[in-house]
Amino acid sequence: MKKIIFSILFLMTIMTTIEAQNPFFAKYKTPYETPPFDKIKNEHYEPAIDKAIKEHQNEINRITMVRSMATFENTIIALEESGKLLSKVTSVFYNLLSSESNDEMMQIAQNIQPKLSVHSNEITLNEALFKRVKAVYDKRYESNLTPEQIRLVEKTYQGFENSGATLTGKDRETYKELSSKLSQLSLMFGQNSLKENNKYEMLLTDEADLAGLPQMIKDAAAAKAKAKGKEGWVFDLSAPSYIAFMKYSSRRDLREKLYMAYTTQCAAGGEFDNRENVKQIAQTRLEIAKLLGYPDYASYVLRNKMAKDKEHVYGLLDDLFKAYAVAAREDVKMVEGFAVGMEGKGIELMPWDWSYYSEKLKDARYSVNDELVRPYFELENVKKGVFGLATDLYGITFRKNTKIQVYHPEVEAFDVLDEKGQFLAVLYTDFHPREGKRQGAWMSEYKGQYVEKGVDSRPHVTIVMNFTRPTETEPALLTFNEVETFLHEFGHALHGILTKCTYETLSGTNVLHDFVELPSQIMENWLTEKEYLDKFAVHYKTGEKIPAELVQKLIDAANFNAGYLCYRQLSFGYLDMAWHTLNEPYTGDVIAFEHKAMNKTALLPVVESAAMSPSFGHIFSGGYAAGYYGYKWAEVLDADAFALFKKTGIFNKETAESFRKNVLERGNTEEPMSLYVKFRGQEPTVDALLERNGIKR
């Protein structure tokens, strides 16, 4: 018996020691309690998540065991404040899974996803808990609650309703199985995309293969080859590498090679093929929707969006399709004509030709291209310009804080201070591509904003991008589109930084998906304003301001190919809706389905084996399923909103303050259209967008 007791005590001592060494189990002794990335190891995640799940379940049990009548405080607030350890762990893990991943982390993700799915279902399908939530929901207007409290009750109830809480009997078990399956499929889809993207490289060893490429692009490719221990120049599928090669390479055969690699990602066989995952994800979503009483997944999702239903989504897409039809076809006709003139012979314009010839036409027409403007967009100056815009509009400032731990040497952390010098938020910035970081650009949070016991707990926000790297001889010089992307993600960051809400569920970017892009897309508008560019766009060698004539060329070129680009976005929206308005499982060929869905917007010959769906992370592993239309929806909003800035002055303090108070600070505390009208004084129309793009004059 003594041996048994000793063994138990010894085991308990070991477990206590292990827990003591896990940074997630202690209060972070860091500035603003930011994650201590230097102490967090891969082996810490699973034990922390296991403990956090148990802790969260105990908190849920305490809510359901309360004998008194369900109230806002003992049910909704208790639920809102539960699961903090779990959020603490998963926010770090999933952010790093996107920006600093490796094989071990991917395996951990595979291990923890089923546990998290089961745990989520055990909460949302907890009958006793839902009964209490519904009791508060049913009496929300009779309980002397504030509008923000009523909103929290409604969003909490909707969350349960959306997750199958109204189901009974076998349907509940079916929902659990389907939601767990969907989580695993989405995770596998994303991991396959990252691995396939990392796997590909095009090594060039003959300098003749670099024809047409600017020196900076060649230097970057040489640096990439050197880093891999290879001789020559390496091009891959990361945005700076791929986009530059497609724009400037005069080697049509190599453009085709790289294009085919890009557009057949996860669609050409092999271990990372996602075509079956695409069908399984679409089918599982359809099964969930039907189980909950909806004919298709889009109908299930859209009822809680600004658009409300698929008819309104298709109405927007179709209206823009018609409005931009002439411009889109004219864009293609002009680029085709230019290509023929440039080559001195007939040429069938293929997708791998578009970027090359359209860039040449743009340069010929406006005498402006990426390489001409890059010297004025040195990254450090751009950072000052982007941060400075927030200072001009909202009075906030950014102070680098080297005491805050970061997860990679390239990452920087900033204290964000309000106009009185008071702390507002932490902002992390991560600019360059590397192995282990997924493609694209995004904003996220390590910690959201909320008020607890009268204390405003401020957010920790991150923006992650894949911009042109510095070379051995040049600093990081960005393209116009990269600066635009920076402003876009920074707009999301401001939405998270400036929020002033009581409840984290409603704060910051936790808004309807077709509203979330307004704060980001409106920021892009300043980039063609000379008054703004003059503040930071200076030549990195001479310090001279960007010339007025070059700014005018940027303005003149702003609508170049606006019709083509609109059709490109519409094609993604139509594809997304096609997958999510299915009312029967699709068992056919994924590529054939895609081509049919996008056929009406096709402006160039369709390449038979090219496909977007198998790597379309936004809708198959992100949060934009039946929601990609939101980019165009928000574009209508941002054009209409910026029209007010144009009318009152692009740095007008009153207009900026109204946007801050009515949009950026309010999160999801009110219906988004109501918030928009409070700022703008009217509901938006498409007129401002059509005028901005030169479609309507």
The DSSP element (H or E) to which 464 belongs, if any, is strand 460-464
DSSP class per residue in 649-677: -TT-HHHHHHHIIIIITTTTSS-HHHHHH
- Active site (annotated) includes residue 489: yes
The C-alpha atoms of residue 591 and residue 569 are separated, in whole angstroms, by 18
160-183 pLDDT, tens digit each: 999 999 999 999 999 999 999 999
The separation between CA 569 and the C-alpha centre of its own chain, rounded to angstroms, equals 16
Pairing outcome for strands 423-430 and 460-464: parallel
User: Which is it for the CA torsion 164, 168, 171, 173, positive or negative?
Assistant: positive
**What pLDDT score does 6 carry?**
55
The C-alpha atoms of residue 272 and residue 118 are separated, in whole angstroms, by 26
**What pLDDT score does 587 carry?**
96
**What pLDDT score does 2 carry?**
56
| C-alpha pair distances (Å), 111 with each of 49, 166, 184, 639 | 11, 29, 10, 44
184-234 pLDDT, tens digit each: 999 999 999 999 999 999 999 999 999 999 999 999 999 999 999 999 999
The C-alpha atoms of residue 420 and residue 107 are separated, in whole angstroms, by 46
Q: Which residues of the chain have pLDDT under 70?
A: 1-18, 697
**What pLDDT score does 20 carry?**
73
Q: Is-contact 464 490, C-beta < 8 A? A: no
The DSSP element (H or E) to which 452 belongs, if any, is strand 450-452
The C-alpha atoms of residue 244 and residue 262 are separated, in whole angstroms, by 13
CATH number for the segment(s) 2-166: 1.10.1370.40
Domain ranges of the chain: 2-166, 200-263, 374-512
The C-alpha atoms of residue 28 and residue 217 are separated, in whole angstroms, by 42
Terminus-to-terminus CA distance in the chain, angstroms? 90
287, 489, 524, 635: which is the annotated catalytic residue?
A: 489
User: Given 3.40.30.10, 3.40.50.300, 3.40.390.10, 3.60.20.10, which CATH number is that of 374-512?
Assistant: 3.40.390.10
Q: Is-contact 379 477, C-beta < 8 A? A: yes
Q: Is-contact 607 263, C-beta < 8 A? A: yes
